[in-house]
Amino acid sequence: MVHKITDETFAKELANNENVVIKFYADWCGSCRLFAPKFTRLSNTDAYQSIQFLEVNAEENPAARKLANVNNLPYFATFKKGELVQGETTSKEEYLVKMMDQLIA
């Protein structure tokens, strides 16, 4: 399951979850919309049940965007114990899977 968060809930989610992957998106971003069903499917995959899947509207949440060093969209960031592990602009599912596999390795 994917949860939408904001600047107000960002720190709490990172503190309460050991492994986190965040999708940063914007409503106008076509690639972001196309990736949404893949992100949801991955969130329901047994192999990734130890990861909290979150999404943030990058335009409406500048503090979260800055903490993750978002530079383009869609942007994915992984966090372990509240610390940024990796962030990447990509629309390739294989690359996100690699990021998540490294997170839980």
Domains of the chain with bracketed CATH: 2-104 (3.40.30.10)
Provide the H-helix boundaries in the chain: 7-16, 30-43, 62-67, 93-104
Q: Which residues pair with 89 in a beta bridge?
A: 75
pTM (two decimals):
0.95
Contact 22, 76 (CB under 8 A): yes
In 44-92, which residue ranges form alpha helices assigned H by DSSP? 62-67
Residues with catalytic roles:
29, 32
Quick: pLDDT tens for 18-76: 999 999 999 999 999 999 999 999 999 999 999 999 999 999 999 999 999 999 999 99
Burial (CB < 10 A; 0-12, 13-18, 19+), residue 70, is: buried
